[in-house]
Structures are given as structure tokens and as C-alpha cells.
Amino acid sequence: MYQGKFVFAQIMDSVPWKRFQTCVDRYRGDYNVQTFKCSDYFRVMAFAQLTYRESLRDIVACLNAVPEKMYHMGIRSGLSLNNLSNAGKQRDWKIFADFAQILIERARVLYGQDALPIEMNATVYALDSTTIDLCLSLFPWASFRRTKSAIKLHTLLNIQGDIPEFILISTGKLHDVNVLDHMIFQPGAFYVMDRGYLDFERLYKINQAKAFFVTRAKKNSQLTRRYSHLVDKTAGVQCDQTVVLSNADSFATYPEPFRRVRYYDEELDKRFVFLTNNMTLPSRLIADLYRSRWRVELFFKWIKQHLRIKTFYGMSENAVKSQIWIAVSVYLLVAILKKELGLEQSLHQILQIFSLTQFEKSPVFAMFENKNYTSPNDGIPNQLTLFDL
């Protein structure tokens, strides 16, 4: 029988703790802290995400029910509702944001050889945001509308492995297009976004960075056609044009030509008009690139269903952002384990198994092996024969 570490401890072993401590030291997270340091807080909150705990009281009651196991889980400090609540207010959320970036780089390397869902040899990012509604009386710092609060999770998703490489947490009032001011664009990469990000001055910055954008045109976009290119209408492409901005003020913000591709989707019975600064890709591939944007929508749906980011353990801005960044770190840790152990199960299946096995002493990889046992039909060899035939 395996008498090694708990499953939770094995998961935590995959955490690069030296680099985590570097993030802690950068923001002096453990300054004047005698007990319940940042590493303890991270472990407790990761446990809460993995086991679907509903509240701080739930977390404390669950772990204090097994005090003899907490030490072997790596939680070396005493756990109480007070110190857990205070940690959420005082441990700087930037510590966990920086640490998540370390895990992102690690996951990006692991998934770098995966096949893209579309046939391309470039990095493709899908950019979008999701809104998480909050109670105005409990979260007044996240004002959104007159009667409610909300935060937005702006995410840049690498569709090769569905790894979130950039996340910005803002109040609900921040317009989506403003997030482009916080991004550094990678030359040669494609940034796919909906028309909420259509701002030609900002799109021109993408163009100047030698990167490419694919977005949808608005109905009031004033464009002048310069050239029309041959298209294969059997593929759903109705036109492929080189255009410039008609308005003089708009032309000053984006003074170069770009493409307009009109595509008809038979399945949806809907026409789409795409804008891109890539002048060489086949027009049908532009439509396929935009379709890949839905992967970020699926990512939002997944994390809202399987991680604790819709209800929060603390009400301060720091506690909310810390919880989200730790949830993202847990997502990345599970994705890293899946790749490193060569697991065939989906991330959802892995999380479901983890939620029930945190206190088990079994090798992690052994829990995911497909064991198809069959009962031998030979009978018991020392069974007496009653009748001789």
C-alpha cells in the first residue's frame, strides 16, 4: 500500500515555491508576519478551489476537522476564521498575480507543441471579457451601475492549449477597448476580438507592432474601397476588399489600408464583415480565425462552472483579486499536471477526481489509470469435481 504524501501535497509539490517566495519578497508579503504566511494562505485557498468550499467558515471547519493532516498538507500555521479573513485583506493580490505569470510561462512551454484548432503557423490569441455581478452594498468599491456592482475579467487566451496569457481585473465600468492600452503585442501574432474593441487608433498600434488583428466592422464604419480581390463564393466568402478609412479624422488615426472580408455563415444564416491588417491570408481563413474567438467564451464558461470566482470569500478588493488569481493558478497547475503526467482525462474530470481525493495517500497518476479488470473464467483450481464425465 502506498504510504507517501497526500494528493494535495503532491499537487503542491508541483508549485515552484522558490519563485513563489520571490514574488512574496517583491511585495514584502511576509513582512512582520509571524504565522500564516503567504504560502500558507495560498495552500488554504488552493484547497478551497480544489474541494469547492463555499465560504471562509466552510474552509476553516473542513481543515480544522483534520488537524493532524494539515501539517502533512504543508499548512504549518494554525487556521482560524480571523487569520484567514485578515490574510485576504492584507496579503497583496499582486503576489498571486505575478506568480500566475510564472505558471503561465510554464504552461505555455508545455502546450507549445499542441496542434492549433486551425491550420496556421502563428500564435493566435482570443481577447474578450466577462462580467461578474456583485452586490452593491457589500462591494461598493466595484461600482458598475446605480443599483449594482460588478467586476470584469479581461482575458487574452492563447488558443493553443487554452492558456490565459494576460488577465486584467477591473471594475465593471471599464470599457473593453481600454484594455488594449495595457497590452504588449507580440510581432507576428494574431489578436482576434469582437467589435467592442474596434478603435482604429488602438488597432494601428497593433499594426505598428508588426502584429495582426481580426475583428468585426460596425455598421457605421466609414470605409472606402480601393481594390476588390477574387474570392471563392462557394466557401461562403462574398467579397474581399482593400479599404481605407473615409473620414479624415479617422484616417489620421489609421493612415494605412487594411482588408474588409464579408462572409456568409449558412449554419447561422448570418453575414459577418471582418476587418484585418493581414493582407496575405486566404479570406476564408480570416473567417475561421474569428470563429476561434469562441474558445475564450468557452474558457469563461468553464472557469465560472468549475472554479470559485462567482462567489467570494472576502469583500475587499484585495481579497477578491487574490481569490481570482489563485483560482487561475489552480487552473494552470491542473493543466500543467495533465500535460506532465500525460493524462487523457479532461480538466473537468481531473478536478472532479481531485475534489474527492485530497486526503488520499495515492500517487496522482495512479488515480487516472484505466484499469480494466476481467474475472477469469477458469474456476478455482482446487475445487473438487463432483462428477466424472
Q: What percent of the chain shows pLDDT beyond 70? A: 94
Tell me, yes or no, whether 90 and 21 share the same domain: yes
Confidence class of residue 386 from pLDDT cuts 50, 70 and 90?
very low
Predicted pLDDT at 34: 85
Per-residue pLDDT of 252-261, as tens digits, reads 999 999 999 9
Q: What's the rounded Cα separation, in Å, for the pair 239 and 260? A: 8
Average pLDDT over residues 94-122: 91
* Residue 109 within any structural domain of the chain: no
Nearest residue to 45 via CA among 21, 62, 30: 62
* Residue 239 within any structural domain of the chain: yes
* Residue 344 within any structural domain of the chain: yes
pLDDT at position 207 over 60:
yes
* Residue 45 within any structural domain of the chain: yes
Per-residue pLDDT of 325-367, as tens digits, reads 999 999 999 999 999 999 999 999 999 999 999 999 889 988 8
Predicted pLDDT at 2: 52
Q: What percent of the chain shows pLDDT beyond 90? A: 77
Average pLDDT over residues 169-188: 95
* Residue 59 within any structural domain of the chain: yes
Q: What's the rounded Cα separation, in Å, for the pair 362 and 16? A: 22
Tell me, yes or no, whether 23 and 81 share the same domain: yes
* Residue 134 within any structural domain of the chain: no
Show the CA angle centred on residue 306, arms to residues 343 and 336, nearest 5°.
35
143, 136 in Cβ contact below 8 A? Answer: yes
- 353 contact partners, CB below 8 Å, separation of at least 6: 345, 367, 368
Question: Which DSSP string corresponds to 33-45?
Answer: --SS-HHHHHHHH
Confidence class of residue 371 from pLDDT cuts 50, 70 and 90?
low
Per-residue pLDDT of 32-50, as tens digits, reads 888 899 999 999 999 999 9
Domain boundary among 282, 310, 336: 282
* Residue 166 within any structural domain of the chain: no
Average pLDDT over residues 71-94: 92
Instruction: Supply the range of the domain harboring residue 235.
Output: 214-282
* Residue 362 within any structural domain of the chain: yes
List phi, psi (to 5°) of 186. Answer: -90, 120
Looking only at the bridges linking them, the beta strands covering 163-171 and 143-145 are unpaired
**How many domains does the chain fold into?**
2
164, 182 in Cβ contact below 8 A? Answer: no
Average pLDDT over residues 283-308: 93
